[in-house]
Amino acid sequence: MRVARDWCGSGGNGTVVTEASRRGPLACRTNAYKSLRPGQHSYTSAWHDTDAFGVSGGCRMAVQWNLDGQESGPIKYYAPPRGTNYWVKVSNIYDIDIESYTC
């Protein structure tokens, strides 16, 4: 799955938008995406300040939301319907762990 360095839009932590509802690209800069796999932590595997992550339609992703550098946050699940991709906002004081990603 992809994580983005920038969030070009409004909304607080955990805001979910569909790719179709975006006006323009999600990332404000070129090459502002990285790929993560289950078991990876955005704080160490992408950026200390990861701002968004994507979930493809028809897939299910479990994400642990942590305060920066910690490992004790709640796990939330995202499962967009087939044909609809989600982008989820990550606020500056949070990072994410990808617990699982299945399609």
Collapsing DSSP to helix, strand or coil, 37 comes out as coil
Q: What is the pLDDT of residue 100?
A: 94
Tell me the CB-side half-sphere exposure of residue 7, using CA atoms within 13 A: 22
Burial, 39: exposed, middle or buried (Cβ in 10 Å; 0-12, 13-18, 19+)? exposed
Q: Sorting pLDDT into bands at 50, 70 and 90, what band is 32?
A: confident
Q: Sorting pLDDT into bands at 50, 70 and 90, what band is 12?
A: confident
Q: What is the pLDDT of residue 29?
A: 59
Collapsing DSSP to helix, strand or coil, 43 comes out as helix
Tell me the CB-side half-sphere exposure of residue 28, using CA atoms within 13 A: 7
* Residues 17-30: tens digit of each pLDDT: 887 665 544 555 55
Beta strands in the chain (DSSP E): 2-4, 16-18, 33-35, 52-55, 60-67, 75-78, 86-89, 94-102
pTM across the whole model: 0.83
